[in-house]
């Protein structure tokens, strides 16, 4: 027993354990909570917007919990579905593609801070899995890997519709990757850091929030994010009326679920990015973390107080995340779909020049002192 | 291949070692919903060639009619344009009445006009809503489906059926209006006008929708006439031809309504024309209800219209006619007649030939969507694959009507 305690209290092991807990938390939050909840929100929100009743059938002994059990029923149904690989398909790549699609959206979360830094029982806890100096670059590098999953899925299925979907997806995701990267350059200039932890820390004061100084960039970024996630109005790669189901036409069972989950997780991770970059991360407007720490520290004692403040921070982060997700859902259920060439035109001829303009304006603002850097 | 390349004798495909892709779109494809197949040749996403293959819903309607007694054809006509089935009923009944040479009572004419317009609304709701759906705007679609459901509640209260109404008979109708119908119409139309406004707000000025519909699938006035276009698609091209105005039938000459006309003939104009027609139809229904006189709904002639149950079970002559009609069918005098009505898609014509027997000798239908579908290659060749979707939807191929 003593040996275990002494092992745990060794700094390196403790660090490892804390990181594992954080990874567990993030995985639980995304796959365990957000993926099934978003499936439910998508159904229920669309039902409310469309004046319908919505999901309310699946239930245990008549208890339906406002349709929440549908996600569970879906999961059970899809696990038992036949895993079908079409004749002539590239078996290996066909199986690999959903994995490649889902992993980037998960690992992006490694650098997104979901809380601040706290001192608990004399130990520093930083609520981010990996505080990388080049966090933003890491996000874009990993994000572009997601394209491969989609393209490989489209190509390996041996189906012309899938191929067309994969082609559309590759062109669209590549274009918007570039544009999305450019929309955040202004922020990097403003906060003078590529680390998301740094950027969040500098947004403690409400008047330094990204959305206050960079509202145009926020709009452009969100637009690119929706395009990057291939959601309506940018869902040309899967456009069900044109391409049957686009790149995942030939997928069934759990592989289909992986694509579907990947889409939701991309939404969550991109919203997490948005919260960290533009909406001040875990910060509450006009309330500093120091104030919270003293207030709760006086009330509950230093360490317990810090735990409470930490939980509040995580809660605030998730709340902001949910607001962004609902916004994206609302867009999804309001708009019709772009045509593929219109998407490309929008990306290259409108959003790209606009984001370049914005970089120029931010540069001028910083040099002339109109935009005081935090 | 681009035109200028062709002139230079430069073959892009050969030079870049690429080929066109041939692909079967349909019959099981979400956009063609089992009724049609397109054989596409794609250059990237551009449609180089398209071959439309119809006939997946062919039920030998015309031949089947020859085996039915005159009144037995009505359930089959329901299944022509099944989104606006009473219109087919009315067209067939009027052609048969023309053949006999009888005139139905005034109230019957008003009722037929009214329910025709309700059917037109139902057809347009389906068409415009499904168009939105296929462009990804599911919410707008559900709004119009709700409007259609409410409308179908009204139709159900008249004739008991929601989709295939089977309401009209030669020389009359099956039922008169139920009690409280006027109040229900008032309530439903108030709600439908609100849904129309919501739909309008969501799509008509939506930039994405506009981009998808504007300048796609366009056709010139001259081509539209040459290809035999009728209905909303012809009017969208700028030709104000409407059977209700050109050859007024039923009570349309007493109705006050506008015929919306487009200018460019593209999908957006087709959409706008249909949207306006929904409004005009609502107004016609209200005018009908206002002007409608009391009176009988069937011709008072037992040779053509089935005598009432009371009469045929108490009186001698009605019993004989009842028996004759059931066993032999009405013996409509030999001859031929063509009667066109303005269907939801355009001019819906019935050409009937009788040789004096109890069954039609020949029943030929002029389906509007057949002519429209045959022009589809003209509309989409050279445009993108994605443009095929709104164009095909605004053409509104109804399998039952086109294939018969």
Return the residue of B nearest to A331 by Cα: B137
R_g over Cα of chain B: 23
User: How far is the C-alpha of A114 from the C-alpha of A266, rounded, in Å?
Assistant: 16
Burial of B240 (0-12, 13-18, 19+ CB in 10 A): exposed
**Chain B residue with the nearest C-alpha to that of A45:** B139
Instruction: Label residue A37 by pLDDT band (50, 70, 90).
Output: confident
* A341 close to B (CB below 8 A): yes
What is the pLDDT averaged over residues A161-190?
86
Q: Which residue of B has its CA nearest to A238?
A: B136
All residue ranges of chain B with pLDDT < 50 are none
Cis peptide before A146 (omega within 30 of 0): no
Interchain proximity A242–B389, CB inside 8 Å: yes
Q: Which of B146, B208, B384 sits opposite A336 (nearest CB)?
A: B208
- The pLDDT of residue B24 is 87
Q: Residue A50 and residue B142: Cβ atoms within 8 Å? A: yes
For residue A344, pLDDT over 80 is answered with yes
Q: What is the pLDDT of residue B212?
A: 87
Question: pLDDT class for A1, splitting at 50, 70, 90?
Answer: low
Residues B208, A334: C-beta atoms closer than 8 Å: no
For Cα atoms B248, B254, B255, give the angle at the middle one, nearest 5 degrees: 90
Percent pLDDT > 90 in chain A is 1
Using a CB-CB distance cutoff of 8 angstroms, which residues of chain A are in contact with residue B139? Answer: 46, 49-50, 333-334
Predicted model pTM: 0.85
Q: Does A29 touch chain B (CB under 8 A)?
A: no
Q: Domain segments of chain A: what residues?
A: 1-80, 89-368
For chain B, say whether A50 makes contact (Cβ under 8 Å).
yes
pLDDT tens digits along A271-312? 888 888 888 888 888 877 777 777 777 777 777 878 888 888
Structure confidence at residue B283 (pLDDT): 92
Q: What is the pLDDT of residue B205?
A: 85
Say whether the peptide bond before residue A233 is cis (omega within 30 degrees of 0).
yes
* A214 confidence band (pLDDT: 50, 70, 90): confident
pLDDT at B278: 92
On whether any CB of chain B is under 8 Å from the CB of A344, the answer is: no
Contact yes or no for A233 and B387 at CB 8 A: no
Contact residues on chain A for B208, CB-CB shorter than 8 A: 233, 335-338, 342
What is the pLDDT, as a whole number, of residue B180?
A: 87
Task: Render B98-115 in DSSP notation, one character per residue.
Answer: HHHT----HHHHHHHHHH
DSSP alpha helices (H): ranges in A157-252? Answer: 160-183, 185-191, 196-201, 210-213, 215-228, 240-243
Q: 264-323 in A: which are within 8 Å (CB) of B?
A: none
Vertex A345: Cα angle to A339 and A349 (nearest 5): 160
How much is the pLDDT for B125? 92
When scoring A236, A238, A339 by the number of chain B Cβ atoms within 10 A, the one with the most, hence best to mutate, is A339
Q: Do A50 and B202 touch (CB under 8 A)?
A: no
Shortest CA distance to A202 belongs to which of A110, A271, A119, A116? Answer: A116
Six token digits for residue B279: 């409004």
**In contact, A112 and A180? CB cutoff 8 Å:** no
Chain centre to alpha carbon of residue B387: 23
Angle, helix A215-228 to helix A253-278, in steps of 10 degrees: 170
Cβ contact A51–B202 (<8 Å):
no
Of B21, B45, B135, the CB nearest to A337: B135
Three-state DSSP state, B353: strand
Between CA B235 and CA B345 the distance in angstroms is 11
Go through A29-64 and write b for each residue having 16 or more CB atoms within 10 A of its CB, e for each that does not: bbbeebbbbbbbbbbbbbbebbeeebbbebeeeeee
* Residue numbers in A near B212 (CB within 8 A): 336-339, 342
**Is the pLDDT assigned to residue A347 strictly greater than 70?**
yes
Contacts of A340 in chain B (CB under 8 A): 45, 384, 386
> What residues of B are in contact with residue A339 (Cβ under 8 Å)?
211-212, 384, 386-387
Q: What's the pLDDT tens digit per position in A93-120?
A: 888 888 888 888 888 888 888 877 777 7
A338 at interface of B, judged by CB pairs closer than 8 A = yes
Beta strands in chain A (DSSP E): 117-120, 123-126
Q: Quote the CA–CA distance of B241 and B247 in Å, as a whole number.
A: 10
> What is the nearest CA distance from B104 to chain A, expressed in angstroms?
42
DSSP string, B40-70: EEEETTEEEEEEEE--TT---HHHHHTTS-G
Total CB pairs under 8 A between chain A and B? 79
On whether any CB of chain B is under 8 Å from the CB of A330, the answer is no
**Looking at the predicted structure, is the pLDDT value of residue A136 above 60?**
yes
In this complex, the residue of B137, B384, B385 whose CB is nearest that of residue A335 is B137
Closest CA–CA distance from residue A158 to any residue of chain B (Å): 13
C-alpha–C-alpha distance, residues B291 and A219, integer Å: 56
Please tell me the predicted confidence (pLDDT) of residue B2.
60
pLDDT at B273: 92
Predicted complex ipTM: 0.80
Q: How far is B15 from chain A (nearest CA, A)?
A: 21
Mean pLDDT over the full length of chain A: 83
Measured distance CA(B193)–CA(B200) in Å, rounded: 10
Strands (E), B156-229: 168-169, 172-173
- pLDDT tens-digit map of B282-295: 999 999 888 888 88
């Amino acid at each position: 027993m003593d040996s275990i305690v002494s092992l745990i209290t060794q700094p390196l092991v403790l660090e490892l354990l804390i990181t594992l807990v954080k990874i567990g938390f993030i995985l639980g939050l995304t796959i365990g909570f957000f993926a099934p909840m978003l499936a439910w929100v998508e159904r229920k929100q669309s039902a409310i917007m469309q004046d319908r009743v919505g999901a309310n059938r699946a239930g245990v002994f008549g208890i339906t919990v406002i349709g929440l059990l549908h996600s569970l029923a879906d999961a059970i149904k899809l696990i038992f579905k036949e895993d079908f690989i079409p004749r002539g398909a590239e078996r290996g790549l066909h199986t690999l593609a959903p994995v490649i699609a889902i992993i980037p959206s998960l690992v992006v979360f490694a650098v997104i801070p979901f809380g601040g830094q706290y001192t608990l029982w004399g130990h520093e806890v930083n609520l981010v899995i990996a505080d990388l100096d080049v966090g933003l670059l890491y996000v874009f590098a990993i994000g572009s890997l997601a394209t491969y999953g989609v393209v490989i899925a489209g190509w390996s299925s041996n189906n012309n519709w899938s191929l067309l979907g994969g082609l559309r997806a590759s062109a669209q995701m590549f274009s918007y990757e570039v544009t999305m990267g450019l929309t955040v350059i202004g922020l990097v200039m403003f906060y003078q850091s590529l680390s998301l932890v740094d950027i969040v820390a500098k947004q403690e004061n409400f008047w330094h929030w990204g959305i206050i100084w960079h509202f145009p960039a926020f709009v452009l970024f969100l637009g690119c994010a929706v395009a990057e996630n291939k959601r309506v109005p940018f869902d040309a790669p899967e456009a069900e009326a044109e391409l049957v189901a686009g790149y995942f036409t030939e997928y069934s069972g759990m592989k289909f679920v992986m694509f579907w989950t990947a889409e939701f997780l991309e939404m969550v991770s991109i919203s997490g990015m948005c919260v960290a970059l533009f909406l001040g991360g875990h910060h509450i407007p006009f309330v500093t973390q120091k104030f919270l720490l003293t207030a709760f520290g006086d009330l509950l004692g230093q360490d317990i107080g810090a735990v409470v403040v930490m939980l509040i921070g995580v809660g605030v982060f998730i709340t902001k995340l949910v607001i962004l997700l609902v916004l994206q859902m609302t867009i999804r259920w309001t708009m019709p779909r772009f045509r593929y060439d219109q998407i490309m035109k929008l990306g290259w001829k409108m959003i790209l020049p606009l984001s370049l303009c914005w970089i120029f304006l931010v540069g001028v603002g910083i040099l002339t002192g109109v935009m005081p850097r935090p | 291949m681009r035109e200028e390349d062709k002139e230079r004798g430069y073959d892009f495909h050969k030079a870049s070692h690429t080929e066109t892709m041939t692909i079967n779109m349909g019959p099981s494809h979400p956009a063609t919903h089992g009724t049609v197949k397109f054989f596409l040749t794609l250059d990237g996403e551009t449609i180089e060639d398209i071959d439309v293959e119809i006939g997946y819903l062919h039920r030998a309607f015309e031949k089947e009619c020859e085996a039915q007694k005159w009144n037995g054809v009505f359930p089959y006509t329901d299944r022509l344009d099944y989104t606006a089935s009473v219109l087919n009923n009315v067209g067939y009944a009027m052609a048969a009445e023309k053949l006999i040479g009888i005139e139905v009572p005034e109230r019957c004419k008003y009722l037929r006009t009214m329910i025709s317009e309700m059917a037109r609304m139902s057809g347009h709701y389906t068409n415009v809503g499904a168009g939105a759906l296929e462009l990804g705007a599911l919410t707008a679609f559900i709004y119009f489906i709700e409007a259609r459901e409410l409308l179908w509640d009204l139709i159900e209260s008249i004739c008991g059926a929601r989709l295939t109404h089977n309401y009209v008979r030669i020389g009359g109708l099956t039922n008169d209006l139920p009690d409280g119908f006027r109040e229900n119409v008032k309530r439903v139309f108030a709600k439908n006008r609100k849904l129309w406004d919501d739909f309008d707000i969501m799509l008509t000025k939506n930039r994405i929708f506009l981009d998808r519909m504007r300048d796609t699938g366009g056709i010139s006035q001259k081509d539209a006439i040459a290809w035999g276009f009728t209905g909303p698609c012809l009017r969208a091209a700028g030709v104000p031809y409407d059977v209700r105005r050109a050859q007024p039938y039923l009570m349309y000459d007493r109705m006050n309504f506008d015929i919306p006309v487009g200018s460019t003939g593209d999908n957006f104009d087709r959409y706008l024309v249909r949207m306006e027609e929904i409004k005009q139809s609502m107004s016609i229904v209200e005018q009908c209800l206002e002007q409608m006189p009391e009176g009988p709904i069937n011709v008072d002639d037992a040779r053509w219209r089935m005598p009432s149950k009371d009469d045929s079970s108490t009186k001698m002559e009605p019993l004989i006619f009842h028996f004759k009609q059931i066993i032999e069918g009405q013996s409509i005098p030999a001859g031929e007649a063509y009667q066109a009505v303005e269907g939801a898609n355009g001019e819906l014509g019935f050409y009937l030939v009788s040789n004096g027997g109890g069954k039609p000798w020949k029943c030929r239908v002029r389906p509007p969507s057949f002519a429209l579908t045959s022009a589809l290659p003209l509309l989409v060749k050279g445009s993108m694959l994605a443009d095929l979707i709104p164009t095909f939807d605004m053409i509104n191929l109804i399998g039952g009507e086109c294939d018969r």
